Amino acid sequence: MKDIDLLLLSGDGVGPEIMESAISLLEKIQSSFKINFNLIEGLIGGASIDAHGLPVTDETLNQASQADSILFGAVGGPKWDSLPPNEKPEKGLLELRSSLGLFANLRPAILFDSSLEASSLKPDIIKDLDMLIVRELTGGIYFGEPRGKKSSSAFNTMIYERHEVERIARVAFDSASLRNKKVCSVDKSNVLEVSEFWREVVIDVSKDYPDIELSHMLVDNAAMQLVKNPKQFDVILSSNLFGDILSDISAMLTGSIGMLPSASLDNRNKGLYEPVHGSAPDIAGQGTVNPIAMILSVGMMFRYSLDQLEISEKIKSAVSNTLNDGYATEDIADKNSKICSTKELTKIIIDHV
């Protein structure tokens, strides 16, 4: 297998700490499997604003388009909070997603048995939870024009083209066909034309997938159902904004947002892999951040972009075995846990790979 050019964008806050965990894991994998990485570092978010005055530069965008795959830490923090939205660190991530065409965001929410007590929901509601949010990532209100802010008003546009809904719907149906064969498409079609359209297009696409059971749910109800009975879901299909909100809810079902990985893919499965959690400035630099979301994101990379399902499964079981042995960072610890720092937990997981 040829060397893999992997771009590392650590970003801000806890980003560099979890990136260190990812690098140690990659080193272990290089030495145990016949696979080689060229690690390339780039700037994004606040780190890029501080160095170049922009949340992402053409250089980083070029590095990203040339790389085989991208690992992303987190962006943002109080230091840059007063900037307007299109100059903030977050804008760097949005530009990356858009310029690379990473329209399909996969956010699995899987509950590890050892985290049953860490969730704020009752164990029987979440035990064995295994669902996947498929979120549209390069369209909708995040990118719609016109947008703007004046002194007396402000506006954004929620718009979807047919082809944008079709391609994300296909990702959801294809994912469901490898899982429990159910797709629940979330919208707000009782109020918004864009959602009515979304629903129609999803129904059209579903005709190519007769084995998949399709249902529709209004987003407010979906938020409620996620905390009431999350196990009713297999794959949730949603637009950009709704998926952003629902994925934070589903993250919390698993005990901590520090557990959830994600993949953002283009139409050829090139991907950017990042934890769902953000830069967590309140705990940055303390060496306590949970590295699991990042480690599982590396696992998703092996599965979706590098076609190495076996390595991906090994990473997942290493995490699960580590948790079963009672090791945890503070965010997922219960009274019996052996509390570890980021580095300690990373090392134990890597030893299990």
187 is catalytic: no
Q: Of 291, 285, 299, 295, which Cα lies nearest the Cα of 331?
A: 291
**Residue 266 appears among annotated catalytic residues:** no
Q: Is residue 90 within the footprint of ligand IPM (CB under 6 A)?
A: yes
- Minimum CB distance to ligand IPM, residue 226 (Å): 16
Of 47, 93, 110, 131, the one binding ligand IPM (CB under 6 A) is 93
Say whether residue 274 binds Mg ion (CB under 5 A). no
Q: Exposed e or buried b for every residue in 289-327, given b needs 16+ CB within 10 A?
A: bbbbbbbbbbbbbbbbbbebeebbebbbebbbbbbeeeb
Instruction: Give yes or no: 273 in active site.
Output: no
Q: Which residues contact 42 (CB under 8 A, 6 or more apart)?
A: 7, 8, 9, 59, 60, 63, 64
**Is residue 244 a contact point for Mg ion (CB under 5 A)?**
yes
Q: Would you count residue 234 as binding Mg ion (CB under 5 A)?
A: no
d(CA 262, CA 92): 17
Q: Is 188 a catalytic residue?
A: yes
149 is catalytic: no
Q: Which stretch binds ligand IPM (CB under 6 A): 89-97, 164-172, 196-204, 317-325?
A: 89-97
Does 244 contact ligand IPM by CB under 6 A? yes
Cβ density class 254-286: b for 16+ within 10 Å, e for less: bbbbbbbbbbbbbeeebbbbbbbbbbbbebbee
Query: Is residue 234 a contact point for ligand IPM (CB under 6 A)?
Result: no
CB of 245 to ligand IPM, least distance (A): 9
Residue 136 contacts ligand IPM per CB under 6 A = no
* Structural tokens at position 165: 């809904």
The b-or-e profile of 126-148 (16+ CB within 10 A means b, else e) is beebebbbbbbbbbbbbbbeeee
Catalytic residue among 5, 68, 130, 248: 248
CB of 243 to Mg ion, least distance (A): 9
Q: Which of 188, 270, 314, 347 is catalytic?
A: 188
By annotation, the residues acting in catalysis are 142, 188, 220, 244, 248
Residues that bind ligand IPM (CB under 6 A): 90, 93-94, 244, 278
Residues that bind Mg ion (CB under 5 A): 244
